[in-house]
Amino acid sequence: MHTLLFLDPGHFHAALTLRVPQARAADEVFVYAREGAELRDFLALVERFNRRSPAPTRWRPVVTTSDDPLGRLVDERRGDVVVVAGKNGGKARTMRRLHDAGFHVLADKPWLVEPADLEHVRASLEGWPLAAEIMTGRHDVAAGLVKKLVGTPALFGAFRDAGVAIEQESVHHLEKLVDGAPLRRPWWYFDVRVQGSGPVDITTHVLDQAQWLVDGDAASLALLSARAWSTAVPADAFRRITGEAGFPRELEPFVDGDALSYRCNAELVYRIGRVTARAATRWNLAPSPGGGDAAHSVAHGTRADIRLEQSARTGHRRKVFVEPRTEATDVARTLRDTVAAWQAELPGVEVAPAGPGTHEVTVPPPLDGGHETQFARVLDEFLRIVDERRWPAERAARTLAKYTLLAEAAAKTS
């Protein structure tokens, strides 16, 4: 049985790891943080989970406020697993200190904000105790289907050699709902020196998905190009999102008139082994009415393209499509046979027509609990690895390779 420690939980991802009960962890959790709105928001979200009906949780947070929460956590050592999800600036150094002190660390992305962070990332990944990312994408049902389809040569073929073989676009929104309530972001979220700029933030997730699709994660990475640009955040939107009366003094270098220039968008072109990939991530202020975050990715194969889309066209649900490039009848037959063979593992997944020559692989609602449910799965997987004392050397190598490329992208776009 593990005891969880939460260090300065300034991002709502920290609380989402507690969205459901966790059999591998004690209900009593210890929180070390500075006093303030971020701590109160974390505790309020955990309390909503406790009061939820049906299936409430039973978490009992024990809070220690301090001007040096990291020092207090290390000195008191009241648990063995530390969850870190807050300010990204300095996170790499914090993780290294926790690792050196003997704590397992589950930390939200990105671990790296500036290229100098890379040496601390490398140290945190060196052996026991374990350090792992809160990386939800590999627990997403639709993304898992894409992985399985790409891994079926009779259906997908191989990645195409000419041009970009993996195209990924991701659109997020600064104003959003979490657990049905408006999300309040801390003001420092808009400081790229603290949160991280576009090339290292959401791109971390997108790059991880591309690694997952290629050669079992082991392929080397090489950056071909990188660019970054800003989203303008007007003062009134900043007040709504943060609850602050105005732009804090710390953000003055990024303020132009009545708006803040938030350098949160990026496009990277890179190679994973022999496969060329492009990742584009963008932040908008707010979704259209009834809208939400959007994603579009395509894996281009020699026999078929596999497309994952979440947009207004899909009712803002993540949907998977297969588009034959050759021998359409054979590809369609192989797709139906392949999906039929998955029924024991993925009951109810089916193939449906989706326009001329295109097929959708449909996912029944019971299999897809949504993005917010994936954080608790990440925690459960991490605790299981710790319990089994399985040092995931391949995961460590993949993570280090990813952050090495992101450090290069950050340097090129600074």
Q: What is the pLDDT of residue 348?
A: 87
Confidence of residue 266 (pLDDT cuts 50, 70, 90): very high
pTM: 0.89
Q: Are 336 and 118 in contact (CB under 8 A)?
A: no
- Tell me which residue of 212, 258, 268, 264 sits closest to 238, measured CA to CA: 258
Q: What is the pLDDT of residue 149?
A: 96
**Tens of pLDDT along 64-82?**
999 999 999 999 999 999 9
Selected residue with higher pLDDT from 217 and 8:
8
Q: How far, in Å, CA of 109 to CA of 403, rounded? A: 10
Q: How far, in Å, CA of 411 to CA of 414, rounded? A: 5
User: N- to C-terminal Cα distance for the chain?
Assistant: 44
Q: Are 279 and 211 in contact (CB under 8 A)?
A: no
Confidence of residue 117 (pLDDT cuts 50, 70, 90): very high
Query: Cβ neighbours of residue 354 under 8 Å, at least 6 residues apart?
Result: 321, 360
* Residue 59 confidence (pLDDT) above 90: yes
Q: What is the pLDDT of residue 288?
A: 75
Q: What is the pLDDT of residue 344?
A: 87
Both tokens of 270, joined, read 């890179």
CA distances from 7 to 3, 26, 91, 99 (A): 13, 17, 11, 14
Q: What is the pLDDT of residue 373?
A: 73
Q: How far, in Å, CA of 302 to CA of 212, rounded? A: 19
Beta strands in 58-202 (DSSP E): 60-65, 81-84, 104-108, 131-134, 166-173, 177-178, 181-182
Q: How far, in Å, CA of 326 to CA of 154, rounded? A: 12
* Residue 153 confidence (pLDDT) above 80: yes
Both tokens of 154, joined, read 């009779």
Q: Are 194 and 263 in contact (CB under 8 A)?
A: no
Q: What is the pLDDT of residue 70?
A: 97
Selected residue with higher pLDDT from 142 and 104:
104
The CATH homologous superfamily for domain 138-372 is: Dihydrodipicolinate Reductase; domain 2 (3.30.360.10)
Query: Can you spell out the DSSP letters for 188-254?
Result: GGG-HHHH--GGGTHHHHHHHHHHHHSGGGTS-EEEEEEEEEEEEEEHHHHHHHH--SS--GGGGGG
Domain boundaries, the chain: 4-134, 138-372
Query: Can you spell out the DSSP letters for 358-406?
Result: -EEEE--GGG---GGGHHHHHHHHHHHHHHHT---HHHHHHHHHHHHHH
Per-residue pLDDT, averaged over 247-266, amounts to: 94
Fold of 4-134: Rossmann fold (3.40.50)
With tokens 């990386």, the residue in question is: 135
Selected residue with higher pLDDT from 404 and 179:
404
**SS3 (DSSP) at 317:** coil
Which helix (DSSP H) or strand (DSSP E) does residue 50 occupy?
Answer: helix 37-51
Query: Cβ neighbours of residue 78 under 8 Å, at least 6 residues apart?
Result: 3, 5, 30, 62
Strands 255-256 and 350-353: unpaired
* Residue 60 confidence (pLDDT) above 70: yes
Q: Are 399 and 133 in contact (CB under 8 A)?
A: yes
Beta strands in 311-370 (DSSP E): 319-324, 350-353, 359-362
Q: What is the pLDDT of residue 371?
A: 67
Buried b (16+ CB within 10 A) or exposed e, 163-178: eebbbbbbbbbbeeeb
Both tokens of 381, joined, read 């997987």
Query: Using CA atoms in the order 266, 271, 277, 282, what is the torsion angle rounded to 10 degrees?
Result: -10
Q: Are 150 and 213 in contact (CB under 8 A)?
A: yes
State the chain's mean pLDDT as an integer.
91
